[in-house]
Amino acid sequence: MSVLVLGGAGYIGSHMVRRLLDQGQDVVVVDNLVKGHRGALAPEAKFYEVDIRDKEALSAVFEKENIESVVHFAAFSIVPESVAEPLMYFDNNTAGMVTLLEVMKEHDVKKIVFSSTAATYGNPVNIPIKETDPQNPINPYGESKLMMEKMMAWADSAYGIKWVALRYFNVAGALEDGSIGEDHGPETHLVPIILQAAAGQRDYIEMFGDDYNTPDGFNVRDYVHVVDLADAHILALDYLGQGKDSAQFNLGSATGFSVKEMVEAAREATGVNIEAKVGPRRAGDPDILVADSTKAREVLGWQPKYDNVQDIIKTAWNWKELHPNGYDDRK
């Protein structure tokens, strides 16, 4: 029996594939390579270049392979792009989930672990954020993912498809050997952008706003290492394998770091005196986003190994030094 990883050529999906292979599991990857990279694919995993919205092609994969469970990373995830092009997000993310659940139902596959996001909460009412806090997304990306969570819940009551939604906060870092890492196009994530400045690929890093309601005035986010995140998905697969109920879990480190603290941590991790400038605030950036991930720790037994942002950044820097231009396969 195989685990099907949708979006397995992307940043987080490619790390998940490596962790599953490390455990001796059979892995099948589906990715349309719209954002992913051939260079991120593990040769030991079977790969299908398929768009999840293509029902016929996706069904053919389920027919050929003996799939036991699905891990679903395949989505668009750039907030400002979702504001400019909401229908593109509802099509790829939300409509993609309709096709996927239909195909799972038709092939009697009853387990799915899903990449959800802190963006489903919108502006938090409590810090740290708990799974039971209200979900009021403030952009189409967060809305598309919340709709996907709700669709899985209805598919559970109607067809018994069991799901785990993992709501990630900020994901960073790379596999320790530096063989795979983060390479988004365009890059919107803080750590790779700071490391572009460290590598001399940009002159400085712009820190958006220094008047937030936080100890140093810069906004605060919660960072999890990508391998710790992948391990949470493996625990979620085990959880569903034990016949347990559908559930949602926050995945964060519970410790927030400000943008300025991240730049300082990156200076220490890289030994480069990265230049940083303060720019204007960006619209819709909350002061603080930090997860309460007690539930994942208690129920799934999740124990992140990286509890220090400098160590997380060191792994990303190792990837960056080995692959200064990422995967070099831009179309």
Ligand X SMILES: NC(=O)c1ccc[n+]([C@@H]2O[C@H](COP(=O)([O-])OP(=O)(O)OC[C@H]3O[C@@H](n4cnc5c(N)ncnc54)[C@H](O)[C@@H]3O)[C@@H](O)[C@H]2O)c1
Catalytic machinery residues: 141
Tell me which of 74, 161, 205, 240 binds ligand X, using CB under 6 A.
Answer: 74
Tell me which of 171, 194, 220, 234 binds ligand X, using CB under 6 A.
Answer: 171
Q: Is 10 in the site for ligand X (CB under 6 A)?
A: yes
Residue 81 tokens read as 């792009």
Q: Is 218 in the site for ligand X (CB under 6 A)?
A: no
Q: Which of 77, 76, 84, 32 has the alpha carbon at shortest distance from 58?
A: 32
CB 179 within 8 A of CB 323: no
The position carrying tokens 């124990």 is 303
3-class secondary-structure state, position 258: strand
Q: Is 42 in the site for ligand X (CB under 6 A)?
A: no
CB 235, min distance to ligand X, A: 17
3-class secondary-structure state, position 219: coil
Q: Is 35 in the site for ligand X (CB under 6 A)?
A: yes
Our CB check for ligand X shows the closer of 9 and 309 to be 9
CB 197 within 8 A of CB 259: no
The radius of gyration computed from the CA coordinates of the chain, to the nearest angstrom, equals: 19
Residues 47-66 that bind ligand X (CB under 6 A): 51-53
Q: Is 306 in the site for ligand X (CB under 6 A)?
A: no
Sheet holding 46-49, edge to edge: 46-49, 26-31, 2-6, 67-72, 111-117, 162-168, 247-251
Part in contact with ligand X (CB under 6 A); list of ranges 29-37, 152-160, 198-206, 234-242: 29-37
Q: Which residues bind ligand X (CB under 6 A)?
A: 7, 9-13, 31-36, 51-53, 73-75, 77, 92, 96, 115, 117, 168, 170-171, 184
